[in-house]
Chains A and B, each alone.
Chain A
């Protein structure tokens, strides 16, 4: 069930929500006590390893595992033949939305074809890493190499090598006669595009290009799996959702979800990249064959070669405007790389592309395109940063063409409460204009720039979602509480869960212990993603804590022999309207729980609707060295409509983290492929992510003028909106610093230098 709330609790009445307590997982993480995926071990466990394709595209003619199986210490060898056949059209739920089981299973372990360099084709389990490596070397795979294609535009060409014979482009006026790499066309449109452009006094039309980038989580994928003799399976793994792992493993292996129990480990970052499985089904298959637990840990190189980056994209933007800066028409075309299997985030990119703008006449077209590269995975606000890079760059160029302040152009065209967004819904309870104003009125916006310096502004939107969540609150006999949820904590959810429970119970937050439960210990919970956890799971926590309070009040009423409506819960104790009755603290009631009805606990499961959308406005100053082309970010301000912050320091951290990842995406990060379709930079030395010394302190501004009325404390999701604007904010700053027409990411020194040389003629 879900519950509609008219108004969140008034901020002034809150004791815990809105404060900044020390994080509950801090001591474990700084002392090394936190147990991540690779830290878990079982007696008798084997070492699992994966054999990966050396070709970007090849038919698998034969796999001979006999020599590998005969080696000493080798206990299991599996290939695609050891997994069940799955219909190409079978869908499953259990993640965030329906997914294609066949594609997931074929990505976990290749069947007829290897579709990218690094695609898993076989796996072994052995008593040592050395024995496992020897077994991999002894597997004989006969490939028939095929022509490959890694770039999105090349993959769309009529003569491109086709990855999947069953893909015929969907979403066209008529079904094509031949298969192609173009999976689908999405179109969103409103008004009359031709009439809109006819009204325009100035038209900007440009192409913008982004590279594939990885989520860059520090912790590689890791798991231990044990297939019991009775068919019951246990999995310990690092993921963004233990229930997602359970469902996906069951589907890939063709077994019931009830046969699998998944225990989440501490997680060292996910950012969307751990919303699917790679190792877990393979480890289970190896465990089934060997009769031993199997541990698998990816190397960093494997993480880059075989797990989801986000899409590379080609964005064509045409904007028409009046001389005053009012945008009267917009035509946006987005071509997204999906990787080896269908399903880029282009539909989400289409819906977010113009979400910040009130434009009457528009068309947004998205193309989902498969390529011989790893299947893309979600990455914070999937698709939105790529779309925003194109649109926000074009809006900046429009402002320059008109000689207008870029902020004034954004404010003139901004959506507000009551505006119908380009993707359909009418906006309510948003604070986008307040967010723009916060940056416009900042000292940063007025600060003069020096030589070779530039300033870039960009805005972004993300929907945020709710979904299915469960939470349990248990009271211990010392009057403390445990809050159990099913969401791995990737962004501070344990702190916010504890705070919301403490607020309801009237306890100090350090008397509430938040834990992440396994799939057998809590009700179904969707994965941690989509900026949903503080909103949706938080709602379940609040309702569970309220049920506990109702129970406590009822017990106090019985002890006092008064009707329950004469009892209130104030600051952690039951208070009777009869002043002669001494208030009963939670501790006092907990001490006698056994004599007043038994343990005090409650669990709530719900499907939360009504997540409020988030808007972000970023301002970036850079300095570009004209000799080397190197860009240094000098100053960065990020403002965001956050609803209401439960733990402000965590919200600021989310904003700063999104900006930092976006800066890396803009300046340095990219997958570089050689002529054979092999990634040339699968390591942090050559795949350059920003580190602390690359960045200034990012000033985060939280806008709390539009709390979400659907959440008890007004929370909106905050983890994704902050990665939407930075690609364009940085790029606009670099263009303004150099005057060079540079529209392809990353803005690495060689590229900037080439643009400067081209400008100089």
Chain B
């Protein structure tokens, strides 16, 4: 299962839980599973969150693959100047 580490933005949804193991093969699947566990987090993850999957940052990418041993960091979506 992928290991997921949530940033402080997510803690209000997870009741302070910051790390969890999730069975998911894509970002979309990860969001769906976390929404099932923590209702309300899905929209936040979809619109305001970037997914650092094994070191590579993915934004707005529901189909990006997640491996069974992946480490996924949930970080604020990145914009620039």
Contacts and interface: CB of A to CB of B under 8 A. Distances in A.
Interface of A: 2, 91, 93, 95-98, 170-171, 185-188, 215, 270-273, 275, 347-348, 351, 378-382, 423-428, 462-468, 529-532, 607, 609-611, 710, 717, 719-720
B3 to A, nearest CB: 12
Contacts of A463: 57, 78, 80
B8 A187 contact: yes
Contact of A272 (B48, B57, B75, B81): B81
A720 B77 contact: no
Given A186-B7, A463-B80, A611-B57, 18 more contacts: A96-B78, A186-B9, A186-B76, A215-B81, A275-B81, A347-B76, A378-B81, A381-B80, A423-B52, A424-B52, A424-B75, A426-B55, A426-B71, A428-B56, A465-B78, A530-B81, A609-B64, A719-B81
A609 B59 CA distance: 7
5 closest cross-chain pairs (CB), A and B = A272-B81, A530-B80, A424-B73, A96-B79, A426-B55
13 contacts: A93-B47, A97-B77, A97-B79, A171-B8, A187-B8, A271-B81, A347-B9, A347-B76, A348-B79, A425-B55, A609-B61, A610-B56, A710-B56
A529 B79 contact: yes
- Residue of B7, B73, B79 ringed by the most chain A CB atoms within 10 A: B79
- Residue of B56, B64, B71, B81 ringed by the most chain A CB atoms within 10 A: B81
Contact of B81 (A424, A466, A529): A529
A381 B81 contact: yes
Interface string B47-77: 1100010111111110010000001010111
Contact of A609 (B12, B48, B56): B56
B9 to A, nearest CB: 7
B5 interface: yes
Interface in B12-57: 12, 47-48, 52, 54-57
Nearest to B72: A424
Contacts of B57: 425, 463, 465, 609-611
Q: Dominant SS at the B interface?
A: mixed
Contacts of B7: 186, 188, 424
B76 A607 contact: no
B55 to A, nearest CB: 4
A275 B81 CA distance: 7
B58 to A, nearest CB: 5
A402 B9 CA distance: 37
Nearest to A427: B55
A223 B46 CA distance: 33
- Residue of B47, B48, B78 ringed by the most chain A CB atoms within 10 A: B78
Interface residues of B, number: 27
B52 to A, nearest CB: 4
Contacts of B8: 171, 185-188
B77 A171 contact: no
B80 A531 contact: yes
B80 A529 contact: yes
Nearest to A612: B56
A91 B47 contact: yes
Nearest to A189: B8
A270 B81 CA distance: 8
A464 B57 CA distance: 10
Nearest to A377: B81
Nearest to A532: B80
A468 B60 contact: yes
A595 B76 CA distance: 53
Contacts of A97: 47-48, 77-79
Contacts of A270: 81
A170 B61 CA distance: 27
A609 B56 CA distance: 8
B48 A720 contact: no
Contacts of A710: 56
Contacts of B47: 91, 93, 97-98
Contact of A465 (B5, B9, B59, B75): B59
A231 B67 CA distance: 49
A272 B60 contact: no
A382 B60 contact: no
A424 B71 CA distance: 9
B59 A467 contact: yes
Contacts of A380: 80-81
Contacts of A188: 7-8
A389 B5 CA distance: 28
B76 A378 contact: no
Nearest to B6: A424
B57 to A, nearest CB: 6
A333 B14 CA distance: 24
A719 B80 CA distance: 10
A273 B12 CA distance: 32
